[in-house]
Amino acid sequence: MQFTAEQISEFLDGIIVGESSVKVGELAKIEHGCEGSLCFLSNPKYESYLYTTKASIVIVSSDFLPTQPVSCTLIKVKDPYSAFSVLLEKYNEALNPDNTQVGINQPCFIHSSAKIGKNVFIGAFCSIDENVEIGDNCRIYTQVYIGSGTKIASDSTIYAGVKIYNRSVIGSRVTIHSNAVIGSDGFGFAPQPDGTYHKIAQIGNVVIEDDVEIGSNTTIDRATMGSTFIRKGAKLDNLIQIAHNVDIGAHTVVAAQTGISGSTKLGDNSVIGGQVGIAGHLNLAKGTQIGAQAGINFNTEENKQWHGSPAQPLKEWMRSTVIFKKLPEVDKRISTLEAKVAELTAMIEKTATRQD
């Protein structure tokens, strides 16, 4: 399917600079643009590609002024990245027509007490237990398990292989990617006098609010008591561990391989880098930003940046990294000084011996 610059401009409420009738049929990165493709430019460091790209149309910022001749048609919009993401979503829908199918593929097990909404798709080999409620327009792909009493609101998508334990609550427009586990046991064991561990029953659940996205192979443990919360609009990457009774604030973003220990609360609009380790029973304030591989074992203040392990404020960490780079040189200087001190000490001792 092809679209003209004029049609795209109308859809994005943009302004055309160039040929309005030029057509495109695919999306591409600006550095790989070819004839018939649509690209976008939002990061200034990629501007040089604009003057060499073979793309037919490029989406740019409304205030962008080229410094060299441009052969492609430009569509100026307020936010090129957001505009392009909208087009990516529409393009993805066109590439995946199965996303529009409805009905229940067989074989499946759906308990007679389960309530299934309108226009729902359920793939083959799914297991849906008693008293489950699935809202309108949901998509449940193959080999998904949904435990008893779970509620999934409208327009949510659960990809293949996801396991959702009993009594989980999932909001509207939630996306959970393949092989994620929602509501597994929290890691709770009581040490015994004989050195063994007694498992503590985890009787809570997981509550995922509206517009959350959860990556593949992420695990969210249910609460010991009460609920583990993933608040509205939060985005979790692949391979994340969320422990029992954690509370992830609204519109917080967490990158891959992060581990968050039990009963810790992350404030709204926080940004957590990859491979971050966060200890339990902490309160990370609104707007907290943590760099990759940082270790956090303290409460944070609002809108502060932390890096390193153990973590430090950003400016302190930057100063420390300068020192770290100089450590080999400092070590050599210390070794040289030690050798000179040893030499001087030997001379002093030799002189003292002669005087005696």
Residues in contact with 93: Cβ distance below 8 Å, sequence separation at least 6, in sequence order: 99, 100
The greatest distance separating any two alpha carbons of the chain, rounded to the nearest whole angstrom, comes to: 105
C-alpha 189 chain-centroid distance: 30
Please list, residue by residue across 141-153, b when 16 or more beta carbons sit within 10 angstroms of its beta carbon and e when fewer do.
Answer: bebbbbbebbbbb
Return the residue matching tokens 């517009």.
211
Angle made by CA atoms 201, 202, 203, in degrees to the nearest 5: 105
Q: 244, 251, 281, 307: which one is catalytic? A: 244
Residues in contact with 271: Cβ distance below 8 Å, sequence separation at least 6, in sequence order: 252, 253, 288, 289, 290
Preceding omega of 310 cis (within 30 degrees of 0): yes
> Cβ atoms within 10 A of the Cβ of 112, count?
5
Residue 72 DSSP one-character state: S
Residues in contact with 79: Cβ distance below 8 Å, sequence separation at least 6, in sequence order: 42, 61
Rg (CA), the chain: 29
Token pair of 175, please? 């996306």
Q: How far apart are CA 237 and CA 182, in angstroms?
A: 14
Return the residue matching tokens 């949904």.
146
Q: Are 65 and 50 in contact (CB under 8 A)?
A: no
Nearest to 47 by CA among 22, 64, 34, 26: 64
Annotated catalytic, 244? yes
Q: Which residues are catalytic?
A: 244
